[in-house]
């Protein structure tokens, strides 16, 4: 059955906390139990919490929530609220003496787009969990995408709003969904290569292949994406799907994965449903790329650019 267009698939819940005035927020993904998760980190400037747990040489495979948040490194405090919310509901890794929820988190730098003194914290992380829903997930300038901007390669002053999007791809009875928070140095491109959302600098066509970065650099930019599906996989397979998801950023943003981006892609693979087809990794990988590219594009199409 096709997934709802505003859903990450059966069993995956998504919740936001949004502060429109301060232009910041956070987003929580609550996955089904028994999942396998891993990550691909292509940005040179990621700010994160517990991403090391997702490396293939680490023992744990399951995560209990994923947090994407604004507020730069300050926003990582929102994960404390998510951890507490899960623990109160008996969700976490059983250590023998205490239940410990595993909550990887990654941030975007949105401090220059609103109020730098307002950042998501534990209370806001809890609020995002309380708001989590399996369907009808709001997209655009919400949650972690509230203060996102794109097209800053010619300077921050020429950027336009980014946002949060959801995308899907299906083939051969398999389905992959993706959520992307788009706060990139680069412009967002359509399937035909046209610019969906990009710099407002004069004559951007002068640099059609490799736009130069401004002399002062472009610090504090990131695309965060989560790839979700159901299949029977090992952790190294989830790592491979995360990398294919990161390819979706490569094809939908120009330039992508620069030295000034903290891009992170995370794959969360839930156990297969009874009667579902076997998980063909080659097919799932291609679908992950398509789903992320679609999510990136959907993140900006519903956001109104500045006059």
Q: Which of the four pLDDT bands, split at 50, 70 and 90, describes residue 303?
A: low
Give yes or no for residue 40 having a pLDDT over 70: yes
7 inside domain: no
Domain that includes residue 161, residue range: 13-301
* pLDDT mean over 18-41: 96
Q: State residue 277's pLDDT score.
A: 66
Q: State residue 10's pLDDT score.
A: 87
Q: State residue 302's pLDDT score.
A: 65
* pLDDT mean over 57-65: 95
Q: 185: closest CA among 214, 140, 152, 228?
A: 152
- 120 near 25, Cβ under 8 Å? yes
3 inside domain: no
228 inside domain: yes
2 inside domain: no
Q: Angle at the Cα of 160 (from 157 to 165), degrees rounded to 5?
A: 145
* pLDDT mean over 86-96: 95
* pLDDT mean over 68-79: 96
- 191 near 158, Cβ under 8 Å? no
93 inside domain: yes
pLDDT single digits (tens) 164-214: 999 999 999 899 999 999 999 899 999 999 899 888 776 655 444 555 555
| Residue 272 DSSP SS3 | coil
- 102: which 2 tokens? 């595993």
Q: Is 283 left (phi over 0), alpha (psi -120 to 50) or beta?
A: alpha
- 14 near 138, Cβ under 8 Å? no
Radius of gyration for the chain, computed over Cα atoms and rounded to the nearest angstrom: 18
What is the bridge-based pairing of β-strands 222-230 and 264-270? parallel
Identify any residues that bridge with 230 across adjacent strands, giving them in sequence order. Answer: 270
306 inside domain: no
Q: Peptide bond before 220: cis, by omega within 30 degrees of 0?
A: no
Q: Which of the four pLDDT bands, split at 50, 70 and 90, describes residue 152?
A: confident
Q: State residue 197's pLDDT score.
A: 87
5 inside domain: no
Please give the sequence-ordered ranges of beta strands (E in DSSP) within the chain, or none if there are none: 13-19, 24-30, 36-41, 48-49, 66-69, 93-94, 99-100, 105-107, 149-150, 160-161, 163-171, 174-183, 187-189, 195-197, 222-230, 253-254, 264-270
What is the bridge-based pairing of β-strands 13-19 and 24-30? antiparallel
What is the bridge-based pairing of β-strands 174-183 and 222-230? antiparallel
Number of domains in the chain: 1
pLDDT single digits (tens) 236-289: 999 999 999 999 999 999 988 888 888 999 999 999 887 676 679 999 999 999
Q: State residue 213's pLDDT score.
A: 53
CATH number at residue 33: 3.60.70.12
Q: 179: closest CA among 22, 31, 23?
A: 31
Percent of the chain with pLDDT strictly greater than 70: 89
**Alpha carbons 41 and 274: distance in angstroms, whole number:** 32
70 inside domain: yes
Give yes or no for residue 139 having a pLDDT over 90: yes
**Alpha carbons 169 and 124: distance in angstroms, whole number:** 31
Does 197 or 30 have the greater pLDDT score? 30
* pLDDT mean over 104-125: 94
Please give the sequence-ordered ranges of beta strands (E in DSSP) within 31-162, or none if there are none: 36-41, 48-49, 66-69, 93-94, 99-100, 105-107, 149-150, 160-161
């Amino acid at each position: 059955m096709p997934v709802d267009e505003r859903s990450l698939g059966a069993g995956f819940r998504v919740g936001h906390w949004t502060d429109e005035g301060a232009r910041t927020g956070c987003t929580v993904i609550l996955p089904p139990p028994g999942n396998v998760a891993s990550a691909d980190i292509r940005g040179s400037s990621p700010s994160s919490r517990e991403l090391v747990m997702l490396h293939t040489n680490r023992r744990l495979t399951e995560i209990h929530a994923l947090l994407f948040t604004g507020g730069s490194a300050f926003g990582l405090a929102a994960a404390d609220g998510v951890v507490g919310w899960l623990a109160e509901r008996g969700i976490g890794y059983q250590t023998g003496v205490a239940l410990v929820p595993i909550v990887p988190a990654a941030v975007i730098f949105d401090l220059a787009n609103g109020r730098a003194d307002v950042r998501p914290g534990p209370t806001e992380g809890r609020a995002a969990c309380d708001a989590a829903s399996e369907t009808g997930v709001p997209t655009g300038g919400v949650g972690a995408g509230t203060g996102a901007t794109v097209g800053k390669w010619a300077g921050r002053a020429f950027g336009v709003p980014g946002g949060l999007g959801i995308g899907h791809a299906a083939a051969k009875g398999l389905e992959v969904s993706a959520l992307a928070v788009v706060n990139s140095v680069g412009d967002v491109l359509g399937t035909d290569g046209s610019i969906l959302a990009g710099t407002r600098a004069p004559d951007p066509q002068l640099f059609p292949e490799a736009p130069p970065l401004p002399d002062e650099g472009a610090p504090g930019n990131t695309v965060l994406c989560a790839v979700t599906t159901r299949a029977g996989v090992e952790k190294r397979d989830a790592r491979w799907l995360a990398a294919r998801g990161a390819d979706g950023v490569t094809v939908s943003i120009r330039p992508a994965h620069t030295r000034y981006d903290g891009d992170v892609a995370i794959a969360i693979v839930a156990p297969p449903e009874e009667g579902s087809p076997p998980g063909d990794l080659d097919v799932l990988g291609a679908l992950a790329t398509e789903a992320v590219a679609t999510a990136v594009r959907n993140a900006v199409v519903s956001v109104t650019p500045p006059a």
